[in-house]
Structure 1
């Protein structure tokens, strides 16, 4: 980071462990029974190879590159076996029970009679080994950084394949570590670390701060996505708290790093005022990092300390230059364009997983069957993707059109005491105020500032006492020896240090701020959703209806239409799941093996099983179109009958006073937060001043000894 060139700490994923299993005998028996003993004997060498590969995976033996190669070979073998040997508990199938232990909860184990479970576990282990190889790379060199980034991107690609394809075929209930949720989180983690390593390379290459700011912003975005994924069930109850703390701190550190790099860019362009704003925003991000830092590693704690030190130095320099040279107004961060993230890390599936060139089991089942199954799978994937896209587009259309018509808020405004009557921006601000504690939060800030000020005054009093003691000793000797005592006066020399110990200006600012808080305490206490709602005008039905429909009838129709939209949305979610279930149980391999010649007729027949679901999708979309027409018509009638637009304008006018009070609250809060940061940073400055005063007093004492010796002689 800006404050250190030492590569930051990264995470690796541990491999899943498994028990030994005899694959060769059950599969040999199946081939002999289903085809012929001769074909089983022909496949014996291939089966022995598969058995040996799995044995090596059980022991996790060899170096990381060797284990990487072994896992890829075994995964390719599983891909070939998947299309040739049915493994399940069904009659006539091969019964092989694969046992795997959870990578994060090592005592949890799952056994399934499914080759898809075996593939999921093996693919997980490949991604885990790739993360370990990334950590083993020497990131102090350019080559090592490139290797680490490549390994992390391939790990991300492996987890993405697990999430999108392999995990979906694992029998329910899926183990958490190979679930789509875990795979998605781990993909984002690997992308974050790949982006982080790439940033280290670009920094070593002395790229411009503007580029580095965008790269680090993307690092922060990726880590934040990981943190949010870990906060949701089932991951929230499966992963250790240290994982969440690590990624949350990383997200905050790289958010701060992004602002610091952007600040450097502004310094290069002589925009010192913008530099100050960016650096202060970085301070806020570091404050966020402190919330979880105690649960992280020593390395991250040191990174945070180094960044705080570097940031404080840069900010002091920028503020000093601005106050003495540039004298420019420091803008608010809201007035500056956000740092736009730029991703250079991409999920890349390792090429070693492609089984198309493998020669295993070619004599058992023709490759044509495998290719036909792959073609059919592609056709199913395209069909389901098209239907899912239509369903998603319908959901997006409904959401946008309802928002454009201010629904359901405009209906909820009829209910007394609902927050829907508030303008959306004001409602959000009041919710945030209540969540933070409102006036209680301001009083807490005031108490913290007073406590820190008391400590500062005590420490500065000790410094002042030390300087005054030295000055008194100097004055006594000056009076005793008269003109013979010709060294400089302490009172003149220590005046600069005494000036540094003066907190008068800060005290006056604190007093004004506390007085303003006391003066507006009742106003700020009244800031709440309930009070703001009570101050808004009521939306009521007119005394005399002038339209063709009664207002109550309009409201009833609108509510019914919104309920219908909600039901249709739930139906779409169920349809998406039904399409997924149909695909997962769609196994036509036995029928493919029984067909000679063209597969087109078979595919057309098999795809008909999706026709009923496609018809349900068509019906859902048609129903929504009809309901939206009703909503369009009734929403217009509702707003006209109830004078909704005029009422909304009246609410905006009524909310002006609340907005003014909110503005005053935020100003006091921000000023207090700035004061709190001032006194926190003052602790370090006082320690430096105390050291300077002590050194000064000691030096003067030593200097005093020489003249005294000369006078006595």
Structure 2
């Protein structure tokens, strides 16, 4: 009967997956609602627990569950990265060949790494495949085919793990995950796959020459596995029956190869070679039996070889008389390797795989999309900033020239120019001075809130790093966890980024407040009713006669062009903000084809294509403004010369200029303050997410620290401090000195002598009986009495004369016939019969209770 070796499974335990993964989704994917993924998270956690429970079943259904969980782990690898500084979940796996339990085993490794979970799952998939292959019915073709398939698949998985395990586990792996171990397992599984193919060939009655090649290759594969398994670093790892089984099979299958080749020789009538090969096969089978010991299971094959050898010798001696050559001179048997390690599937293991987190994009794609959005926002803010800067410059030039109010105030009346009234109405409609005051007063509170959150984030990281450093300095190399500075660098960089943003915002807030202070009086006047505005503007005196001046008419046309440019810029700004396009498909395609995303080249090209025409419109608008401002300044010079003949308008004109500048500054400050308020409000949830992320990280590190501290404390407590020093000579007692008081033995009891034990009462009720010397019998006439002890008299060495027996000194005689009750005992126990003593055939010893 065929026997195969199956790899034991690695053992693990349940872990908390839902909470850390949900927290990561909430803190990382800003547009995702964590509640939408509750079902997926629960399914993923249940699948892992089911994987743990079903791994013990040696059935295809259990293997399917392992396939599904492994596929999910691979699917989330780029979406929900499990790592020490991402989703911190500690996966604890025990060495598959560790003889202890999961909780008391010596070879256990726990790492917060999705890659570690993935390679351990691959190991268990291969191990379960070998177990399923082992329990198949190897007397049937279907069972042999299934075993061959699973052994080849397991060999491929172990070979793959050998190449990738060290890159996936950043620590020293357990012995079962050592590359040498995995290489040996891969070789052993492919040898067993070749064995199943040989057995099918033998069952199918294939030609002897072909069977010989297949089984000879099987022997060679077992020889390779034997060499790898007997490495000094691995020899003690395997179960005790593994190496004897492998070396037994190597010799046995070599013997079977010689046997089948002898059949080929028989057909070719090479009887001498047939006998030589059968003799060699018999010797190899004897060696296999010796190597295998109790594991040897080739009795039938051995008997068949011996019978064929006897028959061949008999026929050759009586009939053929063919010379038997030396086995060393024989041609080597050919080899045919059919079994080979199966490569890992290019897609999923399970045909029923469904991505539980299909709505989430992989982190590389998500990062690329964020980088693209940052580039896009940079272009948007840059182009809009250019437009607004040009508009601000244009407004400041017009305000310095008191345009268009100057050309409206040429009638000689003291009425407020219409343009000023329009500006005042806009200011009042948008909240006036009170609105600006509220925005300015809210900024410090918003800033303080964000600053407190950021300071708490930095403090948590600093405290955690300080604690880790102190413990590392204390325990040195025994403090084996990853240093904090390696894990916290991305989070510290993020904190520094936000700190720089806040520092920049504080400087911008200060500039805003300075601008507000310089234009506060003009803004306050514009916020008042028109009657108060009119009172606040000085009288100009007579300026009549300039309504029909050519310079005034030209300036009016130019002010219409200014209005047109401003309207166009509003449209351009809206178009720049409204540009939308989806880059996810391009990033997905790049990741699928190259494995990496060259975000910069893809983003820059697409942004140039979309924003190129809008940039040209911005450049054209700025150029038109420069030309228009030049003409305005020249024409305004002519207008000022025409006004020079009129006296007393300078003060009024200055106030109108201040009102125009105040209006422009109001609009600018309102926009800046609203953007600043929005900025601080948008920054708060980002900082809260960062705070939650850091809090989760620090909590996980604290839990890990407590566990490691507990392990170290146990090791320190159980570690011996060393042998005690040799005592000085003066502390050694003399040879004839009496032993210490606590070491003195109680004096020997001298039964029957004064002062001996038991004198106070013949049957003490509260004192225990001391142990009698070994072999002592007080009523044995052949036993010599102890010194000073009276031997009870037995006349004629017959039965003891109880009535006349002398008691020990000070002891009442024992009265067996009609014995009185013990002191304090009134009557026998209910239902108890008094013992009726017969004449004993030999002296009896009383039994002590």
With normalisation by structure 2, the TM-score equals 0.41
* Bigger radius of gyration: 2
With normalisation by structure 1, the TM-score equals 0.49
Which structure's relative contact order is higher, taking Cα pairs within 8 Å and 6+ residues apart? 1
